[in-house]
Amino acid sequence: MPWLFESSFGFATDPYRYISKTCRQLRSDAFATRLRLRRVICMTGEESARVFYDERRMRREGAAPSRIQNTLFGQGGVQGLDDLEHRHRKALFVQLTTPEHANRIARIAEGWLLRYARRWCEQRQVVLYQQLPEVLTRTVCQWAGISLREDEVRCRSAQLTALFDDSGNFGPEHWWSRVNRIAANRWASQLVKRIRSGEMDLPPQAPAAIVAQHRDLAGDLLSSQAAGVELLNLLRPTVAVSVYLVFVAHALHRFADARRFVDSGTDTAVHSFVEEVRRYYPFFPFLAAIVRKSFQWHGFRFSRGRHVILDLYGINHDPRRWNDPNQFQAARFEHPGHCPFHSVPQGGGDVRTGHRCPGEPVALELMKMMTRFLNQSLTFQVPREQDLTVDYQRLPALPKSGFVMEEVHLRSNSSVFDHASAMTAGRH
């Protein structure tokens, strides 16, 4: 296996493209290196993804760096579990991210988006990424059964956003993420306690109640702290879809052919477009695991206990699997048939038995809703005096300007809003 002495600087300066770029230079799908003095193996390609998601070979417990565990995931969350314990906990999230739940979340989000768009019509400029986390915080809390006071919304939105927007940074931003993790854990665990005591009266089918009453393999309730972490693991990923929604706007603006493609509004066209957004744009750069037991693969030795990093962005741009991978092709996903290791923006493999993100249906429905909203229900100008270059050094990557809009107007024929707006009524 090719060996590089140290790769910390490469990861820091180009976290999304470093692995695939290095693999091309080494003419190998894997190489060994060090990250902050720890020996790791970096992998890219479909075959590598199959190895990475083979639970007989890899485990997740202890794989995530402590700085990510203490911010993005939270201690004791489902991402760090393995085997039966993982599948049992994962079933909780699969249960709450079905197409029916995803559709409801999208309808609620559309109602809130309408309310915010009416405000945008009165503003000279709107930075989309500054607005969407609050929209999705309101959305996911309403769906989960969590009532937020009006003076609480901004605080909760900032906390949930900091968990994913600052966790991968260094210095003050990372410590800000840790501070918000502590505060969010406290809030979520208190919610769990209030639900269990009956102080917070929720129907048993409310998502927040289902999480609060979840039991482990032994039949015991999770601790309020652990249940709070999992409640945040339900809320945070939905707010993080803000990143994808900004990329939806970016793609519609940048690629005229894509906008014409989705003009029809057909489900097939819109679905293909948003799948291509997920493939083309950066979201998660990579994932980590630990070798469970030593094995050989393509002449490479994977020693027990070695950390392994899988290159998600590179797999989504692998020229061996994608025709013109660096070109945005809105019709690329018109015809189904891609295997679960071809396109891996939110992980690969089987969502029920493996570590693939269960929130994909929610992300897809929110992105479809946003595509139709921007393309059919809103008019706006995109000022030239902004930097729409995607910042690949940022985690998560985003257009440097956050996507600025001007002269925002709602179309007069938006009767669909009557139903969407009603979804946000009676939320308390």
State the pLDDT confidence band at 340, using cuts at 50, 70 and 90. confident
Predicted confidence (pLDDT) per residue in 280-296, tens digit: 999 999 999 999 999 99
Q: Is the pLDDT of residue 91 over 50?
A: yes
First to last CA, the chain: 58
Closest-CA residue to 129 (of 247, 15, 236): 247
Predicted confidence (pLDDT) per residue in 101-143, tens digit: 999 999 999 999 999 999 999 999 999 999 999 999 999 999 9
pLDDT at 424: 58
Q: Return the structure tokens found at 215.
A: 């039991």
Q: What percent of the chain has pLDDT over 70?
A: 95
Predicted confidence (pLDDT) per residue in 233-247, tens digit: 999 999 999 999 999
Average pLDDT of the chain? 92
State the pLDDT confidence band at 178, using cuts at 50, 70 and 90. confident
Average pLDDT over residues 361-390: 96
Of residues 81 and 68, the one with the higher pLDDT is 81
Average pLDDT over residues 2-21: 94
Average pLDDT over residues 183-195: 97
Question: What is the C-alpha separation between 221 and 41, in angstroms, rounded?
Answer: 38
pLDDT at 421: 52
Chain position carrying tokens 């009006």: 150
Average pLDDT over residues 171-189: 88
Lowest mean pLDDT among 22-26, 264-268, 344-348, 420-424: 420-424
pLDDT at 415: 44
Secondary structure (DSSP) of 216-280: -TTSPBPPHHHHHHHHHHHHHHHHHTHHHHHHHHHHHHH-HHHHHHHTT--HHHHHHHHHHHHHH
State the pLDDT confidence band at 306, using cuts at 50, 70 and 90. very high
Lowest mean pLDDT among 63-77, 157-171, 208-222, 262-276: 63-77
- 357 in a known ligand binding site: yes
State the pLDDT confidence band at 264, using cuts at 50, 70 and 90. confident
| Domains contained in the chain, CATH given | 8-422 (1.10.630.10)
Q: Is the pLDDT of residue 428 over 50?
A: no
Question: What is the C-alpha separation between 371 and 373, in angstroms, rounded?
Answer: 5
Q: What 3-state class would DSSP assign to 191?
A: helix
Secondary structure (DSSP) of 111-157: HHHHHHHHHHTTSSEEEHHHHHHHHHHHHHHHHHT----GGGHHHHH
Main-chain phi, psi angles of 129, to 5 degrees: -70, -25
Q: What percent of the chain has pLDDT over 90?
A: 80
Average pLDDT over residues 199-205: 95
Closest-CA residue to 28 (of 233, 425, 300): 300
User: Do residues 31 and 13 make contact, with C-beta atoms less than 8 angstroms apart?
Assistant: no
Q: Return the structure tokens found at 30.
A: 């894997």
Closest-CA residue to 235 (of 169, 154, 145): 145
pLDDT at 350: 87
Predicted confidence (pLDDT) per residue in 407-426, tens digit: 999 987 554 455 445 555 55
pLDDT at 389: 98
Pairing of strands 307-311, 38-43: parallel
